[in-house]
């Protein structure tokens, strides 16, 4: 159970860091040639036109405000739903709760250190 919790937490942590702290998703959209479908091209043009460096999730929330964009723009919400998917596999509420808390702890701890070192 502890190994499952650590494994899930690390996976969620990595997903959250990549989604919220990098532009990897946008870059892969260009590589896979799906930028029109994911609004990545519009995101890039929006940043250039407005001379800002808005993150992709902020862009989605600003221009396409709906339930889904708010869901994927919130680290707590996204982490919760990622853990729900793992709950379906492991079917253990204690693992769910532990991995949810640990994932968020790792993500916010990392984000705090990342911001302090890049300030």
What is the rounded average pLDDT for all residues in the chain?
91
Radius of gyration of the chain (CA): 16
Q: Per the structure block, which two tokens stand in for 2?
A: 């502890």
pLDDT at 20 over 80: yes
HSE-up (13 A, CA, CB side) for residue 93 = 0
Q: Per the structure block, which two tokens stand in for 7?
A: 């494994």
pLDDT at position 4 is 84
pLDDT at 119 over 90: no
Over residues 38-62, mean pLDDT: 90
pTM of the predicted protein model: 0.87
3-state secondary structure 42-76: HHHHHHHHHCCCCCHHHHHHHHCCCHHHHHHCCHH
For 52-100, the pLDDT digits (tens) are 888 899 999 999 999 999 999 999 999 999 999 988 887 888 889 999 9
């Amino acid at each position: 159970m502890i190994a499952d919790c650590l494994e899930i937490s690390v996976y969620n942590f990595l997903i959250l860091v990549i989604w919220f702290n990098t532009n990897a998703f946008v870059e892969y959209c260009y590589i896979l040639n799906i930028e029109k479908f994911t609004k990545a091209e519009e995101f890039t043009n929006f940043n250039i036109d407005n001379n800002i460096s808005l993150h992709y999730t902020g862009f989605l929330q600003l221009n396409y405000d709906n339930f889904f964009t708010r869901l994927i723009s919130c680290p707590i919400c996204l982490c919760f739903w990622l853990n729900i998917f793992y709950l379906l596999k492991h079917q253990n509420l204690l693992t769910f709760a532990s991995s949810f808390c640990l994932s968020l702890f790792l993500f916010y701890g990392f984000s705090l250190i990342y911001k302090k070192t890049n300030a």
